[in-house]
Structure 1
Amino acid sequence: MRDLIGYGENPPVVGWPGGAKVAVSLVVNYEEGAERSIAAGDERDEDIVIFGGWSSDPARRNLMKESFFEYGSRAGIWRYLAMFRERGLKATFMACGEALEKNPEAARAIARDGHEICGHGYRWRGMAGMTPEEERAEIRACKAAIEATAGVTPVGWYVREDITEKTRSILVEEGFLYDSNSYADDLPYFVSVEGAKHLVLPYSGDTNDGRFWGPGSLGTGEDFFTVLKDSLDCLVAEGETVPKMMSVGIHLRIGGRPSVANGVRRFLDYAQSVDGVWFATREEIARWWLAHAPAELPREVFEEVAS
């Protein structure tokens, strides 16, 4: 059953550490090498429109399109690791297991720098249409790949496109702390999974560099900086009474490009100058919410997940 009401007019007031008004979650999507690829044995290439509207026949291998993906794992990853390291910031890397297997040096570097690695599927795909057995296999394969390449165990989950009515039950059974397959709120919230509370940390589509990927999607780092700054300013103002959460979504083949990355760089510098901003991984946010959210929420209604 859908929940179109959520917290309503009186969301819970959960203070962040140090009295912060906004918890900023930096999310880096590491997918390159896990997309559909004829070279990898798939029947079709990833059908993604790029380069301001250019596309190709997905039934034919296209080396130029492959190279757009390769940029993320060859250059974008190192640009962002250096950017975060220079500022002492920790991010959540939503990583596909197969992508890390194809670049174990990057996997080790992400873990070395203390970033969280969140499960993003073994392949870069959604779970819609999968049987429960197939979903469980996908989750376990992703988890095993992250553990083998980076030496850490993921506690969060997010996949492209969609999950099924069974996904969250399986995640709970497999020991995951949260998932982010939602765009429904500016605060974490609980859903009911077989009578128990499961935590959802919503993601965001507007504060996301996906705006630069697709038909006619040409923009500048200045555009992205403005969107990020305006979003933070709004949430900081609202955070005076109800502290909020903000997600920043980055894809290494998109936001890893110099012009967009420069807009992100400017935003990070701006956000670090704003009073009341807490940069945190999604695991940190999840654990804080679980420890500090009131036992009785303003509206004790949870989305039911089919059993």
Structure 2
Amino acid sequence: MSEPRHTTSHRDFAGYRGRPPNPRWPNGARVAVSLVVNFEEGSEFSVNDGDANNEAIYEVVHRLDGPDSCIDSHFEYGTRAAWWRIMDLFDAHGVKVTVSSCGRAVERSPELARDAIARGHEVSAHGWRWQSHADMDEASEREVIVNTVAAIERVTGQRPVGWHTRSATSPNTRRLLVEHGGFLYDSDAYNDDLPYYRDVAGKQHLVLPYAFDTNDMQYYNASRFNGADFADYVIDAFEWLKREGETAPKMMSVGLHLRMIGRPGRIGALERILAHITASGAAWIAPRAAIARHWMTAVPAGV
């Protein structure tokens, strides 16, 4: 069987080759913990909003070609009830997070984005709609980036400095982010436990990898995955990285969604996670922008 032919590859299988840099996280932390709340409600596809199709990823299994008030209301739960439950829990534990926000969601629920800023959280960019960029042409993707940044800045008074695309990017995404300017980092990678730089359009661009396993979307992916399962998994991941962090400090991402973790039967898992990590004495819980700024100082590009 012949091997397929490829164009120039940008894949990197080596990474730090087992010799990662020491970022010297604040207060001697072994693990920098990034909690990411994905704020997507109102940006999903909905026939009731004039789209051709409804969003296909959620916990309900009955799909309609026409208007679907059932799935619409599932997303609405995130902004109506879950937001306040989650944000109050963060306040109770004194942690600051990144709210990864779709531009259209911010535009439709501006009070939530403003509430995030008032509580001291970072509002980063998560695209205009909750959609993949894989098949976008360059002009359309450039417009998406511009509109997303403008909406967040208009509503919050702060320009987003981080970006994360839903699922697959296009071949142009990272270059367009660099060309647009103003971004400290993107999170469009899942390939490491530490940030790293990439040469993009002649500039050293910082990547803060994200994670799908320590992510509450597992409630969708595994129907029997309950609150205790999620808390145990995230805590196990933290404990392992804490052990490695004795000699090689790491970074850990925990992905959260309003309509997932914000349900009464699941929020207790987040409470357990926060209580465990904050009591460990080994974690620095910080927004991704703060982690990026620290990394750029502790591990400068090109060193």
Give TM-score scaled by structure 1 length: 0.92
Could you report, residue by residue, the CA deviation over 1:170-208 in whole angstroms, capped at 9, with x for unpaired residues? 111222111001100000011110232110000011110
- Say if 1:111 and 1:151, in contact at 8 Å, map to a contact too: no
The structure 2 residue matched to 1:20, chosen from 19, 29, 39, is: 29
**Within 5 A, what are the aligned runs for 1:98-177?**
98-175=104-181, 176-177=183-184
> Is 2:106–2:151's contact at 8 Å kept on the other side of the alignment?
yes
3-state DSSP of counterpart to 1:229: helix
Deviation sequence 1:18-47 (CA, Å, 0-9, x none): 111000001000001100111111101111
1:266 aligned partner: 272
Alpha-carbon separation, structure 2, partners of 1:174 and 1:294: 22
Choose the corresponding residue for 1:50, options 36, 59, 69: 59
Question: Using the alignment, how far apart are the partners of 1:237 and 1:149 within structure 2?
Answer: 41
The 4+ residue runs of structure 1 with deviation greater than 3 A are 294-297
Residue 7 of structure 2 is matched in structure 1 by none
Please give the secondary structure, in 2, of the residue aligned with 1:270. Answer: helix
Partner Cα separation in structure 1 for residue 300 and residue 142 of structure 2: 32
- Partner of 2:243 in structure 1? 237
2:213 is matched with which residue: 188, 206, 213? 206
Q: 1:5 to 1:55 in 2, by over 3 A?
A: farther
Contact (CA 8 Å) 2:48, 2:68: kept in 1 or not? no
Code of the residue aligned with 1:69 in structure 2: it is F
- 1:49 Cα deviation (Å)? 4.2
Q: Is the 8 A contact 1:49 1:55 kept in 2?
A: no
Tell me whether 1:82 sits opposite 2:91 in the alignment.
Answer: no
Alpha-carbon displacement from aligned partner over 1:206-257 (angstroms, at most 9, x marks no partner): 110010014x523221111101110010000000011000011000001111
Question: Is 1:196 aligned to residue 225 of structure 2?
Answer: no
Residues 86-113 of structure 1: per-residue CA shift (max 9 Å, x gap): 1211000000111111111111101111
Percent identity over the alignment is: 45
What residue identity is the alignment partner of 1:236? K
**What's 2:189 paired with?**
182
Q: Could you say if the C-alpha distance between residues 103 and 295 of structure 1 is closer, same or farther in structure 2, counting changes exceeding 3 Å?
A: closer
**Does the 8 Å CA contact 1:90/1:280 hold for their aligned counterparts?**
yes
The answer on whether the counterparts of 2:127 and 2:148 sit within 8 Å (CA) in structure 1 is: yes
Query: Corresponding residue for 1:10?
Result: 19
Residue 33, structure 1, aligned to residue 39, structure 2: no
Output one character per residue of 1:242-295: Cα deviation in whole Å (capped at 9) or x when no partner: 100001100000111112211011110111110221001000000111111155
Say what the alpha-carbon RMSD is for the aligned residues.
1.2
State the secondary structure of the residue aligned to 1:237.
Answer: helix
Distance 1:273 1:74 in 2: 31
Matches of 2:33 and 2:173, distance apart in 1: 26
Question: Which residues of structure 1 form unaligned runs of 5+?
Answer: 298-307
Letter in 1 for 2:290: E
1:191 to 1:55, Cα distance in 2 relative to 1, 3 A? farther
Aligned to 1:257: 263
**CA–CA distance in structure 2, aligned partners of residues 75 and 153 of structure 1:** 27
Specify the alignment match of 1:66 in structure 2.
Answer: 72
CA distance in 1, matches of 2:219, 2:287: 24
Which ranges in structure 2 are unaligned for 5 or more consecutive residues? 1-9
Once the two structures are superposed, residues 125-177 of structure 1 have per-residue CA deviations (whole angstroms, 9 ceiling, x without a partner) of 12111122111110111111111222211000001121122111111122211
- Paired letter, 1:37: S
